[in-house]
């Protein structure tokens, strides 16, 4: 079946079914099922909007083609219709692509919140400054999307930026959007510490983790944890040196170590550290179940060496280049302010298009 009016009617019926389920008191009482139905309704509503746009564009194209073919149409009007038709063709192709992308079965991780870990790599102080710039870029993007960013742990650099920063982003389809950000990011610019004005190259690594939910089957035994408390370091005023509020948790079976010192409360820092530990254990569990995902995770983190780059930020030329998809834009200053939508869309299209089945079936809607 193609994306036509029959498919749109079936989609509308499915959307009404979801709305009916969401108003059922028996369903509302089942929190997990209710949350799943809300996510399903959101996906169906988003798909319906895109299908309606697609059908409207098709109708406009047909009307313009009919106008051009009609013998009684004025030649000046035909010329205008031809110009408009060319622009419509591009818009129609994009609309079809967006629909096919949304028709793909959702990844179980797509709707999860996300934890990002940014570490300074090659480049010393400049790499730490760049790690801070990346942190700011992602948190600005989160603000634009209406998401919430929350610091978990950070190791500030003496001159600014971070040796390492770990934070979560919570919102709608965060992991689906940010999952391709993992890897080595390279920056080319004149450091603030460079008196001669030479361009330096530095790097920072980004790792992206889907955040674990309480419903995930992750057994963490209290006896498997070693919990240490210590005094916070870095910015924080007088509080830093007065209380043992920072928490470090070691998961003995795996050797994983997580920490949090951003809160004044030891209890809150422990809760944040446990969130990070559960997410790392979830990623490890998924890697074990999928060897390819395991390789992807290793590629994400890498060594921090600039030769393993996925993206280059060239400040002198105001140029951003993503080397995986040959994406280049001369608008780096806007990207660093969090204007990432165009890049995120291009990455998702690139990775999903290869596995996209361009067929539509009513049964596909059941997965949404």
**207 and 150 in a common domain:** yes
The confidence score (pLDDT) of residue 159 equals 85
In a domain, 366, yes or no: no
The confidence score (pLDDT) of residue 236 equals 43
**176 and 139 in a common domain:** yes
In a domain, 331, yes or no: yes
The confidence score (pLDDT) of residue 351 equals 82
In a domain, 323, yes or no: yes
**Facing residues of 210 across strands?**
114
The confidence score (pLDDT) of residue 297 equals 43
d(CA 331, CA 344): 15
Total number of domains in the chain: 3
**165 and 56 in a common domain:** no
**232 and 211 in a common domain:** no
Q: Do residues 216 and 282 lie in contact, with contact meaning Cβ atoms separated by under 8 Å?
A: yes
Q: Do residues 152 and 118 lie in contact, with contact meaning Cβ atoms separated by under 8 Å?
A: no
**201 and 144 in a common domain:** yes
**318 and 257 in a common domain:** no
**91 and 122 in a common domain:** no
Q: What is the dihedral of CA 232, 237, 241, 242, to 10 degrees?
A: -110
> What range defines the domain where residue 120 resides?
114-216+291-353
Task: Return the DSSP state at 268.
Answer: H
The confidence score (pLDDT) of residue 306 equals 41
Answer with the one of 69, 103, 137 that is the final residue of a domain.
103
Q: Do residues 258 and 252 lie in contact, with contact meaning Cβ atoms separated by under 8 Å?
A: no
The confidence score (pLDDT) of residue 182 equals 92
Nearest of 201, 198, 131, 195 to residue 163 by alpha carbon: 131
**141 and 90 in a common domain:** no
Answer with the one of 83, 103, 123 that is the final residue of a domain.
103
The confidence score (pLDDT) of residue 218 equals 80
d(CA 338, CA 135): 10
The CATH number that applies at residue 264 is 3.30.160.20
Using CB atoms within 10 A of its CB, is residue 165 exposed (0-12), middle (13-18) or buried (19+)?
A: buried
Torsion sign, CA atoms 101, 335, 112, 24: negative
The CATH number that applies at residue 161 is 3.30.70.1660
Which residues does the chain have with pLDDT short of 50?
235-241, 292-307
**255 and 201 in a common domain:** no
The confidence score (pLDDT) of residue 238 equals 39
Using a CB cutoff of 8 Å and minimum separation of 24, what contacts does 319-322 make? 322/346, 322/347
Query: Over the stretch 214-260, which tens digit does the pLDDT of each residue have?
Result: 656 688 888 888 998 888 765 444 344 456 788 999 999 888 899 99
The confidence score (pLDDT) of residue 216 equals 67
pTM: 0.71
């Amino acid at each position: 079946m193609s994306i036509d009016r029959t498919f749109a009617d079936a989609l509308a019926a499915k959307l009404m079914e979801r709305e009916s389920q969401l108003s059922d008191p028996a369903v509302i009482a089942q929190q997990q099922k209710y949350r799943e139905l809300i996510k399903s309704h959101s996906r169906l509503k988003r798909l319906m909007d895109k299908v309606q746009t697609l059908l409207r564009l098709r109708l406009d194209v047909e009307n313009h083609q009919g106008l051009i073919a009609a013998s009684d149409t004025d030649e000046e009007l035909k010329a205008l219709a031809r110009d408009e038709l060319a622009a419509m063709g591009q818009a129609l192709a994009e609309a079809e692509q967006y629909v096919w992308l949304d028709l793909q079965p959702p990844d179980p991780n797509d709707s999860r919140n996300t934890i990002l870990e940014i570490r300074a790599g090659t480049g010393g102080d400049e790499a730490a400054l760049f790690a801070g710039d990346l942190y700011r870029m992602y948190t600005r993007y989160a603000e634009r999307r209406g998401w919430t960013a929350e610091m978990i742990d950070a190791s500030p650099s003496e001159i600014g930026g971070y040796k390492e920063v770990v934070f979560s982003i919570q919102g709608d389809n965060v992991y689906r959007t940010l999952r391709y950000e993992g890897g080595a990011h390279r920056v080319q610019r004149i450091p603030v510490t460079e008196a001669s004005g030479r361009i330096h190259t530095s790097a920072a690594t980004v790792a992206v983790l889907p955040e674990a939910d309480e419903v995930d089957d992750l057994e963490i035994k209290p006896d498997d944890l070693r919990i240490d408390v210590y005094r916070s370091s870095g910015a924080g005023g007088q509080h830093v040196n007065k209380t043992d509020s920072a928490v470090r948790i070691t998961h003995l079976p795996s050797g994983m170590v997580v920490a949090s010192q951003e809160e004044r409360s030891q209890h809150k820092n422990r809760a944040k550290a446990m969130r990070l530990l559960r997410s790392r254990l979830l990623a490890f569990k998924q890697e074990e179940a999928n060897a390819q995902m395991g390789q992807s995770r290793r590629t994400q983190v890498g060594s921090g060496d600039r030769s393993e780059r996925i993206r280059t930020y060239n400040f002198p030329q105001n140029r951003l280049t993503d080397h995986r998809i040959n994406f280049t834009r001369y608008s780096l200053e806007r990207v660093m302010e969090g204007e990432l939508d165009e890049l995120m869309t291009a990455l998702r299209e690139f990775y999903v298009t290869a596995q996209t089945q361009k067929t539509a079936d009513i049964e596909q809607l059941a997965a949404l």
